Structure formats: structure tokens, C-alpha cells
Amino acid sequence: MAILELAVAFFVLAIIAGAMGAGGVAGLSMDVAKWLVIIFLVLAVLSLIF
């Protein structure tokens, strides 16, 4: 669950950075959060299969 917690943390960071006007940080944080969620979903499906 650590990956999912990190994804939520990056998502919250992106929202806060976006609200403060730091578009670059917000975009980068959203990209990291998106990839962490994708990795989490892939690992979850693999763990269900095997």
C-alpha cells in the first residue's frame, strides 16, 4: 500500500502547488502520481493472477 499512499501524497502536493500557481511542480507531481497509480494497478492485477 506504500505505492498508493505515495500516489495520494503526490496528488495532494499537485493540488496545493496548482492552487499556489506553481504550474511546473503541479504538472510534475500529477505525472508522478499517475504513474504510481498505474504501477499499483498493474501489481494488484498481477498479484490476483499469480
| The pLDDT of residue 46 | 96
The CA–CA distances, whole Å, from 37 to 19, 21, 22, 33, 49 equal 22, 24, 23, 6, 18
With bands split at pLDDT 50, 70 and 90, how would you rate the model's confidence at 12?
A: very high
20-43: per-residue pLDDT in tens? 999 899 999 999 999 999 999 999
Hey, where are the domains in the chain? 2-49
| The pLDDT of residue 15 | 95
Q: Is 0.85 surpassed by the pTM of this model?
A: no
Inter-residue contact 18 to 26 (CB < 8 Å): yes
45, pLDDT greater than 80 = yes
| The pLDDT of residue 1 | 72
